[in-house]
Structure 1
Amino acid sequence: MNRLAHSINITEDVPGRILHWNFFIGGHLSASVPVRLVERTDEGQLVWMETGAPMWRTELPGGAHLRDIAPDDRPAAGYPVVPGRWPMGSALFYQPTGAAHSVLWLFGRRGKFRGWYVNLERRVHHGDDIDIADHELDINVAPDRSWQWKDEESFAEKTGHPVYWSVDEAAAIRAEGTRVARLAEAGTFPFDGSWCDFRPPRTWTTPPRPPVPRRPIL
């Protein structure tokens, strides 16, 4: 199961260490969720996000999603954040060093592996915080490694807006996704079948809600 092998810092790389996954859309916070470190190496790190984990989420009018609200229509200081719980399923995140994407192993009920999800993003690590600037365009990869783009239309609509990405940056984002999709087609890591049976240790209790989030360092 273990694909990553060469740990680089014993004191900071203890499995189970709690980190904070902070997700931003157009410079505004969408969610801040605690995750546990599984493994960190020169190649990248693996973190575990548990369904139902206590989190902070942005409170939006009328139940809207932040990505659907034009930046010019948002308050300058952002929307208020309120406590909540992570509503999606549990996932194992692979965050390659220096890459503009994460790969998620998605797990359903009783830990059944449901497939992979490629999140295209800009990521900055500082202390226990992992700040994610979402790039909107993503990829769904089925267990048989067939794949398809996700959110192509909204990605195109955001291209050229100053809080998102330029035309040239959009081309680089799509190229990053294409490169990862080729890994899926070839069945190479992280799509080689490793970690699909991952289960967090029984000693890992639900982590506490993170500190109140602040503006990203991105």
Structure 2
Amino acid sequence: MTGQILRWNLFIGGHLSSSVPVRLVERTDKGQLVWLETGTPMWRTELPGRAHLRDIPPQDRPAEGYRVKADRWPLGSALIHQPAGAGHAVFWFFGRRQRFRGWYVNLERRVHRGEDIDVADHELDIQVAPDRTWQWKDERSFAEKTGHPAYWSTDEAAGIRAEGERVARLAESRAFPFDSSWCDFRPPPHWRTPPRSAPPARTVLRRHEPEGSSPSAS
């Protein structure tokens, strides 16, 4: 149902990095769109000092995952397209006064479980400017993680990059989602920033974990 609050859970190397409430904008048999509001109360992995989960080797992380702490979504507001069965999501990022700033392609694997959207991040991403010029992001760290059992094999890495190349071609041809649709999106005025949800029940996502129930059309 439009406006329903879901939880977008981002996992890096099998461990939870952040859990943020989002609102459902649209859902069809082709996928769904969700809205992520800047400043939304969220949960973030509690790490020592200013460490980032990406920089901590999986073998040095606790098997049961880290504790989480309360925080707020620090980046801009974003409309997120999650195409059904695809290994990526596309973000429309908005700045002040809802000004469209460009697209961001997150290469990932998603598992849907009820109100939870569990996302296994594939590190390699693509930034697409409003004029549709694009560039890879995090190529070096993607290559460094390739072959590690907590991340992806060499064959899987080739598939991840191929997925990105396919999406990049869509940007070059100005095809959906890079055809100017949704660039003027404004959330309904009655939507309020979602409250902080209960702490996430799971902080570890296993590789090749079976897909949960897919989102059904409403």
Q: For the superposition of Structure 1 and Structure 2, which TM-score range results when normalised by the shorter chain?
A: over 0.9
1:111 aligns with 2:94: no
Match for 2:173 among 167, 180, 186? 186
Structure 2: segments with no counterpart, 5+ residues: 210-218
Q: Within 2, Cα distance between the matches of 1:126 and 1:74?
A: 25
Identity of aligned residues (%): 75
Match for 1:129 among 94, 116, 128? 116
Displacement after TM superposition at 1:212 (Å): 1.3
Q: Within 2, Cα distance between the matches of 1:23 and 1:192?
A: 27
Q: Within 2, Cα distance between the matches of 1:178 and 1:43?
A: 20
Q: Within 1, Cα distance between the matches of 2:166 and 2:198?
A: 36
Which range is displaced more, 61-70 or 142-151?
A: 61-70
Which gives a bigger RCO, structure 1 or 2 (Cα 8 Å, sep 6+)?
A: 2
Displacement after TM superposition at 1:214 (Å): 2.6
Match for 2:57 among 70, 74, 93? 70
Displacement after TM superposition at 1:199 (Å): 0.5
Match for 1:139 among 108, 120, 126? 126
Secondary structure in structure 2 of the residue aligned to 1:63: coil
Displacement after TM superposition at 1:211 (Å): 2.0
Match of 2:216 in 1: none
Cα deviations by residue, 1:41-60 (Å, 9 ceiling, x for unpaired):
01110000000001000011
Displacement after TM superposition at 1:95 (Å): 0.2
What's the C-alpha RMSD, in Å, of the aligned pairs?
A: 0.9
Match of 1:176 in 2: 163
Secondary structure in structure 2 of the residue aligned to 1:211: coil
Q: Within 2, Cα distance between the matches of 1:177 and 1:124?
A: 19
1:95 aligns with 2:90: no
Match of 1:213 in 2: 200
Q: Within 1, Cα distance between the matches of 2:40 and 2:159?
A: 33
Aligned amino acid, residue 42 of structure 2 = M
Could you state the TM-score of these two structures normalised by the residue count of structure 2?
A: 0.92
Q: Within 2, Cα distance between the matches of 1:95 and 1:16?
A: 16
Q: Within 1, Cα distance between the matches of 2:5 and 2:184?
A: 22
Secondary structure in structure 2 of the residue aligned to 1:206: coil
